[in-house]
Amino acid sequence: MRGLFNYEDPSAEVFEDRYAILSDLDDSEWDVLIGCMERTLFPAGARILQAGERDRALYLVVAGTVKVVVESSKGPIHVASITEGSVFGEMAFFDGEPRSAHVFALDRVEVLSLRAERLEQLVAWHPRIAHKLLMELGRVLSQRLRRFYRE
């Protein structure tokens, strides 16, 4: 079994992350959530996040695919591709630590970002939506961790 987050094997298969979140929100709940987020477009090849940066934002892929790249002793390794409906940046969002990976746009990508301070407002003003979001983020984190434990 490969160790948790041990990216030393560049021949390891790239993980296709298809953990869509919040599929059960209704239109009015989506409007509230989107109102708390910032929309950004990235051209193919653009760096969206850089490892080592401090940024307490979570990103939801609206369109396109991003690739997650970590640095190892053997150079950069593409460890995951994240598609529409899923998230990235959740670790730094929760713990405030520096980003652990680079994230690049594989094609034209549209993301919605949620800053930690906006989550606090969502919790205060729309606790039901915030609860759903946090439970979904916990589910995605759990699924990603389980994937690494199985390898």
Q: Which tens digits make up the pLDDT trace of 84-126?
A: 988 999 999 999 999 999 999 999 999 999 999 999 999 999 9
The amino acid at 126: H
Please give the Cα distance from 86 to 60 (Å, whole number): 6
Q: Is residue 77 part of a domain?
A: yes
Q: Is residue 6 part of a domain?
A: no
User: Could you report the per-residue pLDDT of 13-44, keeping only the tens digit for each?
Assistant: 444 555 567 777 888 998 999 999 999 999 99
Q: Is residue 45 part of a domain?
A: yes
Contact 48, 106 (CB under 8 A): no
Q: Is residue 8 part of a domain?
A: no
**Mean per-residue pLDDT over the chain, rounded:** 85
Please give the Cα distance from 19 to 136 (Å, whole number): 9
Contact 22, 136 (CB under 8 A): yes
3-state helix, strand, coil split of the chain in percent (to 5) is 30, 30, 35
Please give the Cα distance from 86 to 74 (Å, whole number): 28
Any idea what the CATH number is for the domain that residue 44 is in? Answer: 2.60.120.10
Contact 99, 47 (CB under 8 A): no
Point out which residues pair with 42 in neighbouring strands. Answer: 109
Residue range(s) defining the domain that contains residue 75: 15-146
Please give the Cα distance from 122 to 103 (Å, whole number): 26
Please give the Cα distance from 137 to 118 (Å, whole number): 16
